[in-house]
Structures are given as structure tokens and as C-alpha cells.
Amino acid sequence: MFDEIWVLIPLAPFLLGGLAIWTRHQSKMAEKYGHLPKGVDADTDRMREEMKYLKERVAVLEQITTDGHSTKQLENEIEQLRDR
């Protein structure tokens, strides 16, 4: 059994290198897609709140445009929203 373990020793640098690459990739993806823990940075929390607000606004705009209203009704709704 211990004779076979020596075969794995030459593979150790490749395994460690692969682990380092995978770890770096995971941290970049977490940073890119916002999976960092809350409270890491004040700017991060502020941007998260702003992103949430903007997504809600886009959802409302999508709902307005896809309600099946006629063009004239849609124009009236947009004008009413501008008056707010």
C-alpha cells in the first residue's frame, strides 16, 4: 500500500497548481457576480442597494410595456409617470 503512495508525489505540484487556479477563479467569479459577504465594504453595500432599486424600476418598466395596452394608452401612462 505504501509503495503506491510514492507514485502520487510527482503529481502533487500539478494538484496544488490546479487548486490555486481554481481558487483564484472562484474568487474572481464571486467578486464579479456580487457574492461577497455583506458588510465587506460600504461602497459594495451602497451599490447593492442601488442595483436592487434599479432592478425594481426596470421590472416596472417591463410590466408597463408588456401589459398589452394600445400605443396611445402606453403614451398616457408614461406621461402620468413623468408628472410624478
Confidence of residue 50 (pLDDT cuts 50, 70, 90): very high
Whether residue 21 sits in one domain with residue 43: no
pLDDT at res. 1: 54
Q: Within this chain, do residues 41 and 19 fall inside the same structural domain, yes or no?
A: no
Same domain for 41 and 9, yes or no, is: no
Range of the domain at 20: 1-35
Query: Does one domain contain both 46 and 73?
Result: yes
Q: What is the pLDDT of residues 4-29, one digit of tens each?
A: 777 778 888 888 999 999 999 988 88
54 shares its domain with 82: yes
Q: What is the pTM of this model?
A: 0.36
pLDDT digits 0-9 by tens, 70-79: 777 777 888 8
Based on the structure, what is the number of domains in the chain? 2
Please state the three-class secondary structure of 15-70 as a single string. HHHHHHHHHHHHHHHHHHCCCCCCCCCHHHHHHHHHHHHHHHHHHHHHHHHCCCCC
